[in-house]
Amino acid sequence: MYFCSLNFEILMSIVIRRASKEDCPRIMELIRELADYERSPEEVTVSLSHFEESGFGSNPVWWAFVAEIDGVIYGFALYYVRYSTWKEQRMYLEDFYTSPEKRRQGIGTLLFERLIAEAKEKNFSGMNWQALEWNELAFSFYRKYNAHFDPTWVNCSIEFKNLKI
């Protein structure tokens, strides 16, 4: 663990737990904060009802952990299962975020290590995620875990609303 410079009292007040459906409105607020931080606020188009159904409906496709201090959620980590024909089942970390006012207090470390524990419990072969190339704070954090940064793959996507077939 990487708690060397962190305040022990603050760490003891952080509760990491599985997200519940009731947490979805707050998680959506944090998702919007994340989009602002990543300079893409217009990209968040998911509705709260779709978000809730996707995580807590009859066929959930995502799972999450939240970080609370005194009953207020200040961070979250949302993942889904990815299958790799080369590497087996892996955790895909879709979003990982801590509110700016609570950064550098251990929330990210506790959330990330809870994700690692979850992936190991589920016998996933590893974890994948993306980070924006300019986000040096994120890269610095991930280096503590000996993360591999792969510069050879290019992200690709299609927006079906723009597709003419």
Residues designated catalytic: 142
Tell which residue, 51, 77, 58, 57, has the closest CA to residue 66.
Answer: 77
Long-range Cβ contact pairs of 62-65 (< 8 A, separation 24 or more): 62/94, 63/18, 63/19, 63/118, 64/18, 64/19, 64/23, 64/27, 65/16, 65/17, 65/18, 65/19, 65/111, 65/114, 65/115, 65/118
Q: Which residues contact 141 (CB under 8 A, 6 or more apart)?
A: 108, 112
Residue 158's DSSP bridge partners are none
How buried is 157 (Cβ within 10 angstroms: 0-12 exposed, 13-18 middle, 19+ buried)? Answer: exposed
> Taking a C-beta distance cutoff of 8 angstroms, is the pair 112, 158 a contact?
no
